[in-house]
Amino acid sequence: MAAKVLHRRLSLGAIGLAMGLLFAVGCRDGVDGRPLPSARSAPPAPTSAAVGQPPSEQPATTETAAAATTAPRPAAAPLDTAPYPWHDDPSIEPLEAVATLEQRFAPPAGFTRVDLEPDSFGAWLRRIPLTKPDTPVLSYDGRVILPSGHRNLAAVTTLDTGKRDLQQCADAIMRLHAEWLWHRGRAAEASYPTGAGPIPWSRYLAGAYPRAKGNTFEWGQGRARSNSHKTYRAYSDVVASWANTVSLARTASKPDRAEVRPGDFFILPGGPGHTVLILDLAKSAAGRQLALLGQSFMPAQNFQVLRPSRDGPWFELDPEHGVDTPFWERFPWSSLRRLD
């Protein structure tokens, strides 16, 4: 925790820099001897003329005309947020969900979304809730990082950021993976890497906690904690206090580029480093691959869907060179990783 606190103090000194400089800095890293990181509204109800009744047969009274234009419209079906646990936790105030990633972003002509196992991490990400299209990206303390009209911002997810400068790039990927495990009833499997070793949910739940010791930590022991999502959310912050791109890149598996799928991520570790998550993937008959990419950044901020330009949100995955993103250097295929 000491490492993260020190980073927060350092990063606050750069608040006055321009927005573009914020993104150039990257995500924090440290604790293992490295530098500190750290729906569109419904159309008007049709009048009788619109559904085929000749104008001469329409009633002429103004009362009827008024009734035709003010008749109640069917309510849109509410978005199913049950698979996304932060929407059911009363201790969290997520952004309003208005659409899913899949609903908002159709693949370009000639491309088809890849098939996914229904309960997979990738399928869960494909349906992640998004908030209103005009939502900016805010930092953990409410500052505007990207305005809603930014050319490289496609959407903002409803995932909460927290009140501290913790949930940065690598942390957000681990948080999302942990939320998927909770939804699947597999939270006992949650364990995420740090430079000082993994932090398993089961150990934290039993009352253990990482305690700062120099530039690393040791385990202390307290009382067992309640098995609730509120506690699980606190666990994610503990992971974020110690994890970084270096530890995540070192311990995550390395899938072959031919097996790339939603839920995989590109990561370039370092002090600083950065990572982007593949939220969805589409292919053409000729084998071209397009991806929807998401990220958090430094400082901790809303998890966002990126876009390469104003032409659309889909990024081309080059078969040889990987992917170019707006706020970091090119991610080569050698940087592809997966949380199994």
Domain membership of residue 14 (yes or no) is: yes
Give the model's pLDDT for residue 182: 98
Low-confidence ranges of the chain (pLDDT < 70): 1-26, 28-77
Give the model's pLDDT for residue 21: 40
Q: Which residues contact 327 (CB under 8 A, 6 or more apart)?
A: 23, 24, 152, 274, 295, 297, 306
Rounded Cα distance, 295 and 173, in Å: 8
Q: Which two tokens stand for residue 51?
A: 């559904």
Rounded Cα distance, 311 and 186, in Å: 39
Give the model's pLDDT for residue 29: 54
Q: Which two tokens stand for residue 157?
A: 């997810």
Domain membership of residue 62 (yes or no) is: no
Q: Does the model's pTM come out above 0.85?
A: no
Domain membership of residue 135 (yes or no) is: yes
With 0-12 / 13-18 / 19 or more C-beta atoms within 10 angstroms meaning exposed / middle / buried, residue 256 is: exposed
With 0-12 / 13-18 / 19 or more C-beta atoms within 10 angstroms meaning exposed / middle / buried, residue 1 is: middle
User: How many domains would you assign to the chain?
Assistant: 1
Give the model's pLDDT for residue 63: 39
Instruction: Give me the domain span that covers residue 106.
Output: 2-37+81-337
Rounded Cα distance, 38 and 166, in Å: 8
Give the model's pLDDT for residue 299: 98
Beta-bridge partners for 292:
280
Domain membership of residue 63 (yes or no) is: no
Q: What is the pLDDT of residues 150-173, one digit of tens each?
A: 999 999 999 999 999 999 999 999
Q: Which two tokens stand for residue 238?
A: 């503990």
| DSSP H helices in 14-97 | 19-25, 62-70
Domain membership of residue 46 (yes or no) is: no
| DSSP H helices in 131-253 | 169-183, 201-205, 229-242, 245-251
Domain membership of residue 218 (yes or no) is: yes
Domain membership of residue 117 (yes or no) is: yes
Q: Tell me the percentage of the chain whose pLDDT exceeds 90.
A: 75
Give the model's pLDDT for residue 301: 98
Domain membership of residue 183 (yes or no) is: yes
Give the model's pLDDT for residue 311: 86
Residue with the two structure tokens 């691959």: 289
Q: Which residues contact 245 (CB under 8 A, 6 or more apart)?
A: 27, 29, 37, 169, 170, 267, 268, 269, 270, 272, 273, 274, 275
